[in-house]
Structure 1
Amino acid sequence: MCFRPMEISAKRRAPFLRKVVSAKKPTSRDPRFDDLSGEYKPEIFVETYKFINDIKQREKEIVKKQLKRMKPTNVQKKEKLQFLLKRMENQERARKSQEEQRERELQFKRQQRERASQGDRPFFLKNSEKKKLQLAEKYQELKKTGKLDNFLSKKRKRNAGKDRRKLPPRELQSQSFQGH
């Protein structure tokens, strides 16, 4: 005797309260927006994944060694390695500046807590004021290293180029002055 599933005629309507076993759909979770993953705290993240910076540093050293051993005939590969090295250095610089920024913010928060414990009302910096302080700090750093003049001259050139682009072309300028 073989057991086959029961056949139901298509002519008859399905019962109104038919019991159907529903299969649970797998729900996907995005850890960035899900509360179950916890709250993102950059300090903890940096501390947990500190080992990655060591790995990146070792990789940078390997690329430097490969560049030194590179033969001058292989220009394309040498350019690739130089580009990679520059990118690694830029990433390192950006990471360090973010770390310094985070440290400054923590220092400011500590000062605020200290003032609040003494009875003063805390004040909060606007983003524009934060940017001004950051810029002032950058200028101080450039002044210490002696690169301020170079930086300012490049900035002047960049701004002059932007201003020149906003002006109408020279032919139009000369025509407009002759007509008046």
Structure 2
Amino acid sequence: MIHVLGSCRFRKRYDFLFENNLPAEKEELKKQLKKTNDPDVIEELKKHISWIDKQLKFETAKSTDAAVLSEHKKKEREAAKHGKRPFYLKKSEIRKQRLVEKYNKLKASGKLESFIEKKRRKNASKDHKYMPYRRPNTNTEQQK
């Protein structure tokens, strides 16, 4: 298994793992999953597939953050050359820009409506969980 380090050099050196090897390994594991009938092996294969999914998802988010940060740094260097003081991005700002990029990507692929609808349903179910409800009246005195 691969241990993901927080280093930029690591990402550059082992990019082939995330681009080629992990997706190919995932496909191979899916084929094995279809062939096997042993419940222990099935569980192990599913765990490994979910681990690969997590790694790939984490790397895409991390690369998006790195791209946002590098773009900002480039702009700041240009501004510093013109005598402006540098402005450093907070994590919250990076998160906001990641969300904007995700929104634009979904909009371009045409999946924005379904994504927003899914988010709306999820939030509605969360709100519904905390709504007070009326208990049935069990007192016989009030019924008389």
1:144 aligns with: 108
CA distance in 1: counterparts of 2:56 and 2:118, whole angstroms: 23
Aligned counterpart for 1:105 among listed residues 69, 79, 83: 69
Q: Which amino acid aligns with 2:62?
A: Q
1:14 aligns with: none
1:21 aligns with: none
| Structure 2 segments unaligned to the other structure (5+ residues) | 137-144
CA distance in 2: counterparts of 1:163 and 1:91, whole angstroms: 31
Q: Which amino acid aligns with 2:80?
A: A
- 1:61 CA drift (Å): 3.7
Instruction: Give the percent of matched residue pairs that are identical in Structure 1 and Structure 2.
Output: 36
Q: Which amino acid aligns with 2:108?
A: K
Question: C-alpha offsets along residues 55-110 of structure 1, whole Å, 9 cap, x if unaligned?
Answer: 53443243133245x16xx2735565355334423321221221121122112112
Q: Does 1:45 pair with 2:41?
A: no
Runs of 4+ in structure 1 off by over 6 angstroms are: none
Q: How many residues end up aligned between the 2 structures?
A: 130
Greater relative contact order structure (CA < 8 Å, 6+ sep): 2
TM-score (normalizing by structure 1) = 0.58
Question: C-alpha offsets along residues 95-127 of structure 1, whole Å, 9 cap, x if unaligned?
Answer: 122112112211211211121112222222333
CA distance in 2: counterparts of 1:168 and 1:46, whole angstroms: 49
CA distance in 1: counterparts of 2:6 and 2:125, whole angstroms: 41
1:160 aligns with: 124
1:170 aligns with: 134
**Alignment RMSD (CA, Å):** 2.9
Q: Which amino acid aligns with 1:130?
A: I
**SS of equivalent to 2:127:** helix
